[in-house]
Structure 1
Amino acid sequence: MTMPHVDGDSPIIPAPELTLPALRQAVATVAPARLPEFFEDLQKAFVRAGDEDSVVPIRMFYRQWAVVVEIERYPDTARRLHAAERALSSPDSAERDRAVREAGDIVRAAHREVEGG
């Protein structure tokens, strides 16, 4: 697995399929507070798909939320990402730099995992 998980950081759910019902259920399980954002992004993706006469916005939506779930289904990894996000507002530039690197590493690894490897 390429995700930089902390030892003992086990997933709380299996990786979902990239379908709307599976992603919705996964978000409801691992990040229920983000469901309104999920549905808002879904609506925007479908509007954009119609405007552009393309399925690309819908595929991007699936990928975006699969990455969110990939991170959130590992509690320790999610905590590390959220700590890094909070550290971005630190007055200490070295701490901000570390936070940017940490967040970037976590998000890139999640993208690689969603892409299959």
Structure 2
Amino acid sequence: MDAPAALEDTVSAQPDGPHGPLIPMPDLTPDDLRAAVSRIAPSRVPALTQHLFEATTNAQQTQSLAPLRAFVHSWAVFIAIERYPERTARLHQLERIIDVGDQDPTEAIAEIQRIREAAEKEAGL
């Protein structure tokens, strides 16, 4: 099976039960990240595309892979979170708690950090 067909099969897999991920965690390549985002958050594809363009330009200008690594890290974490609807909903709820500012944000910030750390681990970062 060729690589694009394999990716399509992987990304189109069914969710693993009612609380499982919407899609498997993709490989950490720009094409696979874009395919995953187009499946779980299609409205975010333009932002991903713009971020990739900027990261590529910055990498060329600075002669460093750091901007591309930051791109991969950012979108891998985004996908790892967004592929679980309950996790995404909880993250947005915590962000609203912080944005509203009518209660101590300490616990919300700590939980957001735990969500992001779990997402990094799932993504292999």
Shorter-chain TM-score range? 0.7 to 0.9
Q: Which aligned pairs between 1:49-88 and structure 2 lie closer than 5 A?
A: 49-88=59-98
TM-score of the two chains, using structure 2 as the length reference: 0.79
Report the secondary structure of 2:107's partner residue: helix
1:16 touches 1:22 (CA, 8 Å); kept in 2?
yes
Deviation at 1:74, TM superposition (A): 0.7
How many residues get paired?
Answer: 108
1:9 touches 1:77 (CA, 8 Å); kept in 2?
no
* Structure 2 counterpart of 1:113: 122
The answer to which structure, 1 or 2, has the higher relative contact order (CA under 8 A, 6+ apart) is 1
TM-score of the two chains, using structure 1 as the length reference: 0.84
Higher mean C-alpha displacement, 79-88 vs 52-61: 52-61
After TM superposition, the runs of 4+ consecutive aligned structure 1 residues lying more than 6 A away are: none
**In structure 2, distance between residues paired with 1:40 and 1:51:** 16
* Structure 2 counterpart of 1:3: none
Deviations 1:2-30 (A, max 9, x none): xxxxxx52101011001111100101111
Identify which of 92, 100, 107 aligns with 2:102: 92
Extract unaligned runs of 5+ from structure 1. 1-7
**In structure 2, distance between residues paired with 1:35 and 1:83:** 23
Extract unaligned runs of 5+ from structure 2. 1-17
Report the secondary structure of 2:99's partner residue: coil
Deviation at 1:59, TM superposition (A): 2.0
What is the identity, as a one-letter code, of the residue corresponding to 1:38?
A: L
Task: Report % sequence identity.
Answer: 38
Say whether residues 1:28 and 2:38 are aligned partners: yes
What is the identity, as a one-letter code, of the residue corresponding to 1:39?
A: T
**In structure 2, distance between residues paired with 1:64 and 1:36:** 15
